[in-house]
């Protein structure tokens, strides 16, 4: 999610909370449930420059979120149960499901004990190449380069640019311009650009990934917990909609096969890498349905409605965003009111 859309959502949340308007509209906007999206669960790093902080929440906030969600009357269920309730139209109590993308080691170290304490099920979406030790966390490598550098030189749009990055403001400006340019171009090329920058600035991307991501043994430890569902997230974490069809297929098929080989069970749930409109669309939704996945989630924002029973491979999620670690926001988020505003009243956003 971009900084701009994050701050827009924050304004909407604050406004709705201040007026309590969300309570009035909740019966129409809340739908039947929601899927929470998390990435890292860890104590604050204390870094001043850390754009990826929006993808981190603390174990304490996870604990509060679970307690608050239950006290608001929601059941907390597994993805299998989300599928079951949608398919069989069992819409008694509202429900949420917790999902974590990418397979960060802190999910095992910090999140699992919290889920265990509350007996809450959750799913981890895992690229097999990440657990192989071959991840390219290019977005974190880029952040590490800009954090370290006082000046970044780069060619964008065939034009040489020089960013002064000695100040926090300079770093944020450079990051936002370079990151969104990289997201707009071919991803193989984008990853090559970050590799070159990393070499120039002495950032070891492989070490960074090894430090952050679970190994297969750690994944197996997590998977032995009956509360855990290990789910699919492609092999190498490319934005699927930008790939030719055969590569899109192989990224998914290889991931399903590898997870089955390593863990003994074929995954039945899937998350689209990046998950935005430019990263996953109807071509991908159809392919996951053809493969017989029970559910597949995007990063499009929204609540679940009974109509999603016909769109099980294009489910929206609610991001538990590191910038919103405030349970007051949670109450507003779970009312669905912000998404009714942001999605202009549309329940489904699946095209
Ligand atoms: Zn991911």
Going from N- to C-terminal start, the domains of the chain cover 3-135+215-342, 138-207
At 35, give phi and psi (nearest 5°): -115, 120
CB 193 within 8 A of CB 164: no
CA–centroid distance, 91 to ligand 1, in Å, is 29
Mean pLDDT calculated for residue range 309-319: 96
Where is pLDDT greater, at 327 or 260?
260
CA of 337 to the centre of ligand 1 (A): 26
Q: Cα-flanking dihedrals φ and ψ of residue 295, to 5°?
A: -140, 155
9-34 confidence digits (pLDDT tens): 777 777 778 777 788 778 788 889 99
Distances (CA, A) of 10 to 50, 112, 177, 280, 333: 18, 28, 22, 25, 10
Q: Which is higher by pLDDT, 17 or 159?
A: 159
CA 81–ligand 1 middle distance (angstroms): 22
Report CA(103)–ligand 1 centroid distance (Å).
9
Span from the CA of 265 to the centroid of ligand 1 (angstroms): 21
Q: How far is the CA of 28 from the centre of ligand 1 (A)?
A: 31
Averaged over 60-88, what is the pLDDT? Answer: 96
- Give the residue with greater pLDDT, 18 vs 298: 298
CA 112 to ligand 1 centroid distance, Å: 19
Per the model's pLDDT, the better-predicted residue between 298 and 46 turns out to be 298
Percent of the chain, pLDDT > 70? 98
- pLDDT for position 340: 80
CATH number of 3-135+215-342: 3.20.20.370
Q: What is the structure's pLDDT at 1? A: 46
How many A from CA of 212 to the centre of ligand 1? 13
Expressed in angstroms and rounded, the spacing between residue 21 Cα and the centre of ligand 1 is: 34
Compute, in angstroms, the gap from residue 101 CA to the centroid of ligand 1.
5
**Ligand 1 center–CA 169 separation, angstroms:** 27
Q: What is the pLDDT of residue 12?
A: 78
Closest listed residue to residue 248, CA positions, set 277, 274, 279, 276:
279
Which region among 125-139, 269-283, 321-335 has the lowest average model confidence (pLDDT)? 321-335
Q: How far is the CA of 100 from the centre of ligand 1 (A)?
A: 9
Strand, coil or helix: what is 33? strand
Give the least confident one: 193-197, 269-273, 305-309, 330-334.
Answer: 330-334
Cα Rg of the chain, angstroms: 20
Average pLDDT across the chain, whole number: 93
- More confident position, 337 or 39: 39
CA of 239 to the centre of ligand 1 (A): 10
Instruction: Name the pLDDT band for 3 (thresholds 50, 70, 90).
Output: low
Neighbouring-strand partners of residue 95: 33, 75
How far does the centroid of ligand 1 lie from the alpha carbon of residue 25, in Å? Answer: 32
Q: What is the pLDDT of residue 90?
A: 86
CA of 308 to the centre of ligand 1 (A): 22
Q: How far is the CA of 45 from the centre of ligand 1 (A)?
A: 20
Distances from the Cα of 167 to the Cα of 4, 175, 180, 199, angstroms: 20, 12, 20, 22
Q: Which helix (H) or strand (E) holds 181?
A: helix 168-184
- The rounded Å distance from CA 238 to ligand 1 centre is 9
Pairing of strands 151-156, 228-232: unpaired
Whole-number Å distance, alpha carbon 30 to ligand 1 midpoint, is 26
Where does the pLDDT of residue 5 fall: very low under 50, low under 70, confident under 90, or very high at 90 and above? low
């Amino acid at each position: 999610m971009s900084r701009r859309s994050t701050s827009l959502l924050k304004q909407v949340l604050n406004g709705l909370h201040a007026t309590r308007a969300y309570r009035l509209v909740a019966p129409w906007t809340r739908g039947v449930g929601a899927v929470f999206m998390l990435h890292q669960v860890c104590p604050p790093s204390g870094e001043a420059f850390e754009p990826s902080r929006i993808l981190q929440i603390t174990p304490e906030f996870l604990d509060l979120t679970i307690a608050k969600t239950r006290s608001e009357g929601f059941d907390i269920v597994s993805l299998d149960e989300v599928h079951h309730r949608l398919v069989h139209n069992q819409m008694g109590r509202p429900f949420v499901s917790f999902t974590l993308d990418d397979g960060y080691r802190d999910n095992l170290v910090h999140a699992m004990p919290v889920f265990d304490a509350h007996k809450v099920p959750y799913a981890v979406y895992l690229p097999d190449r990440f657990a192989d030790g071959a991840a390219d966390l290019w977005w974190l490598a880029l952040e590490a380069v800009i954090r370290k550098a006082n000046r970044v030189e780069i060619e964008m749009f065939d034009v040489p640019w020089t960013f002064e990055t000695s100040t926090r403001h300079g770093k944020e400006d450079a990051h936002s311009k370079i990151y969104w340019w990289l997201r707009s171009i071919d991803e193989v090329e984008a990853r090559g650009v970050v590799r070159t920058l990393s070499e120039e600035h002495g950032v070891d991307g492989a070490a960074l990934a090894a430090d952050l991501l679970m190994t297969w043994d750690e994944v197996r430890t997590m998977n032995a917990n009956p509360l855990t569902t290990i789910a699919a997230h492609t092999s190498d974490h490319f934005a699927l909609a930008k790939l030719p069809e055969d590569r899109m297929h192989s990224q998914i098929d290889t991931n399903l096969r590898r997870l089955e080989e390593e863990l003994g069970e074929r995954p039945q749930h899937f998350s689209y890498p990046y998950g935005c409109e430019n990263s996953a669309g109807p071509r991908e939704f159809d392919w996951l349905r053809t493969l017989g996945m029970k559910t597949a989630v995007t990063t499009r924002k929204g609540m679940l409605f009974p109509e999603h029973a016909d769109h099980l491979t294009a489910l929206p999620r609610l991001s538990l965003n590191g910038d919103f670690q405030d349970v007051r926001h949670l109450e507003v988020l779970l009312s669905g009111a912000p998404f009714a505003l942001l999605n202009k009243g549309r329940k489904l956003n699946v095209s």
